[in-house]
């Protein structure tokens, strides 16, 4: 019996020693390092609880120290969403589906691009109700039509009332270019969805598109919009040269000083026609809409020029003080004949195609020439660089 007790005591003592040693080892062994900092937690900025079918909203997230962190967006667990639950861009612009989903509530999730576990979600109900009728939008600054010099900026401020969602979508519209969301290099640009934004005028006159229309449309109610007419003016000391393919080797008449800062001229396209130019005949087989036309040496071509400010109100005569010519440089081998009345053709965009004759002598020097339009009444000059190619 004593031997059994002795064995039991020994085992018990040994077990205690093992536990104590393990405890000591655990207490003295180094612990794994813990991170002292974590990625800032994503938090949704204020968002609407309800959106109507087809409505858009710009969702944004923020984090301490990172106002606009990069995120991966999903709708109802689908990256980028789909037509049933709505779609969302990589920048967080959500477009509700055309019809309310079932269930009507969807979850919008933004997950950190660097840590997918760092995510935030917000639930939005898609309603079939029409947007509130009390939403209104207006431009508070500048008041009335505005003007800006090429390459310069124009701050524009709108006021959106009747909804907590003051975000807007901006578009820039030109006569020829049509409406372009946020604009482009030809029309100038205005970016973002803020109710206050800055329009950046193009580096050259938007030929054939002046004046422009800048429109802000409410995201809360896309049926509500407001517009501002903006005229893009040239610099006060340089003529506007439209740089198109064809070269610029004979441009002695292009870069001349002009006094006008409120342009009425604008050149857009050029082409050729067949038929008879004059009061008794009509033009046929017109083609073009291109950067340049070709005139063979020893021949005459009927050339049409599309632009604004070229004719009088009735479109039968050239505008007061206006003349059309071809730059000669050191040459004197190309002539331009203008007839009165003209043979203008409406292009259904508020502009007229004005036709004239261009004759190249048999010994004309080959190469590009510039069509130069001058209005002595306003002090304006427009040059269509490389518009005529002599062959």
- 113 CB contacts (<8 Å, ≥6 apart)? 69, 70, 71, 72
Closest CA to 302 of 290, 313, 288, 321: 288
CATH number of 43-127: 2.60.40.1080
- 3-class DSSP state of 6: helix
Residue 125: the pLDDT is 92
CATH 2.60.40.1080 positions along the chain are 43-127
Residue 22: the pLDDT is 44
- 260 CB contacts (<8 Å, ≥6 apart)? 234, 378, 379, 380
Residue 384: the pLDDT is 72
- Please report where in the chains the tokens 């589906």 appear, as a residue: 97
- CA within 13 Å, CB half, 72: 12
- Segment 345-356 mean pLDDT: 57
Pairing of strands 71-75, 119-127: unpaired
| Residue 124 near residue 163 (C-beta atoms within 8 A) | no
Average per-residue pLDDT in the chain?
74
- Judge whether residue 341 has pLDDT over 80: no
- 120 CB contacts (<8 Å, ≥6 apart)? 41, 42, 43, 44, 61, 109, 110
Closest CA to 217 of 123, 319, 142, 131: 131
Maximal C-alpha separation, the chain? 141
Please tell me whether the overall predicted TM-score, pTM, comes out greater than 0.85 for this model. no
- 3-class DSSP state of 73: strand
Beta-ladder partners of 361: none
| Residue 60 near residue 45 (C-beta atoms within 8 A) | yes
Closest CA to 232 of 177, 269, 305: 177
Rounded Cα distance, 386 and 267, in Å: 13
Q: Check residues 250 and 69 and name the one with the higher pLDDT.
A: 69
pLDDT band at 250 (very low <50, low <70, confident <90, very high): very low
CATH 2.60.40.10 positions along the chain are 136-233
pLDDT tens digits for range 274-314: 766 655 555 666 666 566 788 899 998 888 777 677 776 66
Q: Check residues 351 and 24 and name the one with the higher pLDDT.
A: 351
Residue 358: the pLDDT is 87
Pairing of strands 196-200, 153-161: antiparallel
Extract the tokens encoding 315: 């479109």
Closest CA to 295 of 249, 243, 361, 251: 361
Residue 197: the pLDDT is 93
How big is the chain by its Cα radius of gyration, in Å? Answer: 35
- CA within 13 Å, CB half, 240: 29
CATH number of 136-233: 2.60.40.10
pLDDT tens digits for range 39-69: 567 788 777 888 888 888 888 888 877 667 8
Q: Check residues 29 and 215 and name the one with the higher pLDDT.
A: 215
- Give the count of beta carbons closer than 10 Å to the beta carbon of residue 275: 14
CATH architecture group of domain 240-390:
Sandwich (2.60)
């Amino acid at each position: 019996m004593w031997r059994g007790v002795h064995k039991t005591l020994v085992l018990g003592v040994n077990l205690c020693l093992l536990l104590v040693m393990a405890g000591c080892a655990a207490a003295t062994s180094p612990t794994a390092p813990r991170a002292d900092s974590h990625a800032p937690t994503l938090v949704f900025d204020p968002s609407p609880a309800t959106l109507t079918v087809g409505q858009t909203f710009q969702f944004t997230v923020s984090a301490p120290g990172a106002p606009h962190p990069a995120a991966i967006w999903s709708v109802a667990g689908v990256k980028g969403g789909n037509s049933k639950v709505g779609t969302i861009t990589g920048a967080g612009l959500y477009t509700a589906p055309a019809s309310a989903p079932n269930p009507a509530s969807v979850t919008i999730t933004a997950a950190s691009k660097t840590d997918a576990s760092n995510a935030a979600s917000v639930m939005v109900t898609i309603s079939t109700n029409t947007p509130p009728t009390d939403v209104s939008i207006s431009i508070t600054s500048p008041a009335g039509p505005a003007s800006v010099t090429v390459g310069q900026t124009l701050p524009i401020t709108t006021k959106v009332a009747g909804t907590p969602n003051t975000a807007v979508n901006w578009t820039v519209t030109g006569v020829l270019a049509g409406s372009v969301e946020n604009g482009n290099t030809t029309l100038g640009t205005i970016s973002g969805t803020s109710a206050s934004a800055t329009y950046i005028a193009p580096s050259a006159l938007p030929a054939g598109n002046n004046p422009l229309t800048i429109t802000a449309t409410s995201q809360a109610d896309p049926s509500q919009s407001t517009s501002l007419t903006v005229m893009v003016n040239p610099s006060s000391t340089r003529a506007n040269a439209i740089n198109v393919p064809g070269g610029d080797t004979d441009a002695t008449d292009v870069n001349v000083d002009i006094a006008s800062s409120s342009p009425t001229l604008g050149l857009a396209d050029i082409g050729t026609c067949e038929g008879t130019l004059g009061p008794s005949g009509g033009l046929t087989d017109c083609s073009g809409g291109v950067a340049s036309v070709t005139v063979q040496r020893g021949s005459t071509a009927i050339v049409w020029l599309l632009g604004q400010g070229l004719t009088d109100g009735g479109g039968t005569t050239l505008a007061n003080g206006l003349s059309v010519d071809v730059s000669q440089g050191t040459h004197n081998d190309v002539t331009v004949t203008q007839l009165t009345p003209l043979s203008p053709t409406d292009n259904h965009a508020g502009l007229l195609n004005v036709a004239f004759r261009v004759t190249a002598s048999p010994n004309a020097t080959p190469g590009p020439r510039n069509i130069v339009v001058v209005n002595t009444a306003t002090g304006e000059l427009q040059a269509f660089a490389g518009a005529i190619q002599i062959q």
